[in-house]
Chain A
């Protein structure tokens, strides 16, 4: 499955109801939803994932699971997003098949090239700007890092980290195929409107 261009991926936060958040984000036009909940049990993740997958199908959006290849496999998600602490993309690819979307988080050219060799479908590049959603000890990469990483890996880039309404277009112009957000949607008073605005800015970039 190839990744649509100018994609907005909305990722669940650690406290909201992930199904409700997905519904609101899809109403706003999100093209992809990622279920990410570090502390949830396998059963909780499985049940949320089934429901979010159904919502995504209704809206022709993609659904992927963060880290847990087992959950993605058990409920046949469209794909997974893997960190550097997860099994290699090649192992996930062998389990999920050639059609699955497999994203890998990278923050340098070396990891990006490795992800490409291991048959990742896209790379999640970040964090681009300072962010509080994830505990990051390293400095932000900045938008200038996107193009060299993309060119080295020859894979679509979904940029992440501190991206919101006012810098989304800049990220796309810097070479990203799409952006991923957590707090820009989950912390908004109106997640649907926040999603809609991000989608618009990405399309107009």
Chain B
């Protein structure tokens, strides 16, 4: 399970901290920090603050795109957007990081899977406002096809509510990722449990 932050709206400032604290009371997940509205200095400060919190709980913290900030803040990994600097260059510069990449097409998935990555995020599988900029929903069949062709874990992303998680797993997904259901940090441990209850362990 990947829990993505994403408080791009001012109303959600400070949410990522609450989320990080909530994760310390939840089952283990990958917590992906995706705060596009923050400048590098604020992101660095934030990550240094939350990396130890997440680390202590057995969960994994990854930073969106900025692998320099991931290394500098002691985070475990980085998630590269499709338009980031190439995965093999990131691997070489920061070999100790868990490195994942978001992909939005089969060709990008195949290319990324041969770059020595640890996992892929494929989507949007279903419709969701937060992933609308990344194209129309890809659907379960494409997810299935990619999971068959790719040899590294694939996480399905995009409109995946807890009840849709099982369908993604049945397509061969390793896990699922979500953002919107976690905007209410208070209920995060319960929401994570709901997801996990729909997925075979």
Q: A-side interface residues toward B, CB under 8 Å?
A: 41-46, 67-71, 73-75, 84-88, 91-92, 94-95
Contacts and interface: CB of A to CB of B under 8 A. Distances in A.
A87 B68 contact: yes
Contact of A70 (B39, B66, B83, B92): B66
Contacts of A87: 40-41, 44, 68-69, 72
19 contacts: A41-B83, A41-B84, A42-B65, A42-B83, A43-B83, A43-B84, A46-B85, A70-B67, A74-B89, A74-B90, A74-B93, A75-B85, A85-B40, A85-B41, A86-B39, A86-B40, A87-B44, A88-B44, A95-B72
A46 B68 contact: no
A176 B194 CA distance: 62
B40 to A, nearest CB: 5
B176 to A, nearest CB: 25
Contacts of A68: 68
A193 B195 CA distance: 64
B85 A43 contact: yes
Contacts of A45: 85
Interface of B: 39-42, 44, 65-69, 71-72, 80-81, 83-86, 89-90, 92-94
A54 to B, nearest CB: 15
Contacts of B65: 42, 70
A-B residue pairs, 6 tightest by C-beta: A46-B85, A41-B83, A85-B39, A42-B84, A69-B68, A70-B68
A31 B65 CA distance: 31
B68 A43 contact: no
A71 B41 contact: no
Given A68-B68, A70-B90, 10 more contacts: A42-B65, A46-B85, A67-B40, A73-B93, A74-B67, A75-B89, A85-B42, A91-B44, A94-B72, A95-B72
A88 B93 CA distance: 20
Nearest to A45: B85
Nearest to A90: B72
A150 to B, nearest CB: 24
Contacts of A75: 85, 89
Contacts of A43: 83-86
A84 B80 CA distance: 25
Nearest to B42: A85
Contacts of B71: 95
A95 B93 CA distance: 10
B103 to A, nearest CB: 13
B137 to A, nearest CB: 23
A84 B44 CA distance: 13
A94 B44 CA distance: 14
A73 B44 CA distance: 16
Contact of A74 (B42, B69, B85): B85
A68 B93 CA distance: 14
Nearest to A70: B68
A86 B71 CA distance: 15
Nearest to B88: A74
Contacts of A69: 40, 68-69
